[in-house]
Amino acid sequence: MADGAAMRIDRFLWWSRLAKTRSAAQAIAEKGMLRIDGRRVERSSAPVRVGCVVAFPLYGKVRVIRVELLPARRGPPGEGRACYQDLVVTENVSQEAPTD
Cβ proximity of 25 and 11 under 8 Å:
yes
pLDDT per residue as tens digits for the range 36-85: 999 999 999 999 999 999 999 888 888 999 999 999 999 899 999 999 99
Distances (CA, A) of 6 to 11, 36, 37, 63, 97: 11, 13, 14, 21, 39
Nearest to 26 by CA among 38, 10, 7: 10
pTM: 0.81
Confidence of residue 90 (pLDDT cuts 50, 70, 90): low
